[in-house]
Amino acid sequence: MRSDEPHDLDSLVRGLGIPFEDPGLLRLAFTHSSYANENPGDGGVSNERLEFLGDALVGLVIAERAYTERPTQHEGDLTSLRAALVQDETLARVARSLDLGRFLLMGRGEDTGGGRERTSNLAALFESLAGAVFLDQGFEAARGFVVRSLSTEMDAIPDPAPPRNAKSQLQETLQSQGLEPPTYRIVGEEGADHARTFTAEVLVGGEPLAQGRGPRKSAAEREAAQRALERLVL
C-alpha cells in the first residue's frame, strides 16, 4: 500500500507513540529524493537533511545507552556495539519491523525498481524519522523512540567474554600439553622508589621461557606470561 494520505501516516506514528505537532515535518521525513525530484511543486525537498541529523542522533543515543547499561565493556567493545547497531542493515531491519517503508514517498522509477525495500532507503528513512521527532518534540522524545526501536537489536548483542588473565591462559596451555605449571621469579629491579620497573621471568620445568617488564611485580609476571603464550603459539 502506498500512502499520500496524511491521516494514514499520522496513524502510523501515533501507534509508535510519537504523535507529531508538525505534519509537514513528518511528511518530509518520509519523502525520498526521487519523489522530490518528480514533484517540484511540493517544494522539491527530500528527507536527506533530516537523515543527516538523525544519523548523529541515533549514534549518540546508542552510545549513551551502551555506556550506561554495559559498564564493564571497554571503549573498543562499545565502539563495535555502536557500529553494529547504526549500520544500514540493522536500521533497515528495524524500519521493516515498524512497517515504515509502506509509507515512503518515492518516484515511480525508484518504487517500481524495489526502492521501498532497499536497505539504504529504509535505513535513511529511520534516521530521518528520528531527526524529525527530535525537531518536533525534543531530545527526550527522540531518544525514547530510538531506544524503543533498537532495544531488541541491542539486547541481542551479548557482552564479550571477559579476557582471561595471561597467567591463567599460560597454565591451561601448558597443562593441555602435559607440561609442568609455570613458575615466576623477579630477575631485575631498577628506577627510583616512586617509579620502579620490575623484570620477571617465567620458567617451565626450571627452564626460562620468557621475560616481561612492568611497574609492579604482578604486571611484569603477566607480561612474561603473555610473551610465553606468544612463543608457544608460534
**Catalytic residue status for 127:** yes
Edge-first strand listing for the sheet containing 183-190 = 183-190, 197-204, 207-214
Q: Which of 127, 136, 201, 221 is catalytic?
A: 127
Give residues with Cβ within 8 angstroms of 97, minimum separation 6.
none
Q: Which three cell numbers stand for residue 169?
A: 591462559
Nearest to 58 by CA among 125, 157, 116: 125
CA distance 184 to 224: 9
Q: Which of 5, 21, 51, 55 is catalytic?
A: 55
Q: How many CB atoms lie within 10 A of CB 22?
A: 12
SS (H, E, C) 155-224: HCCCCCCCCCCHHHHHHHHHHHCCCCCCEEEEEEEECCHHHCEEEEEEEECCEEEEEEEECCHHHHHHHH
Q: Which three cell numbers stand for residue 34?
A: 526521487
Which are the catalytic amino acids?
55, 127
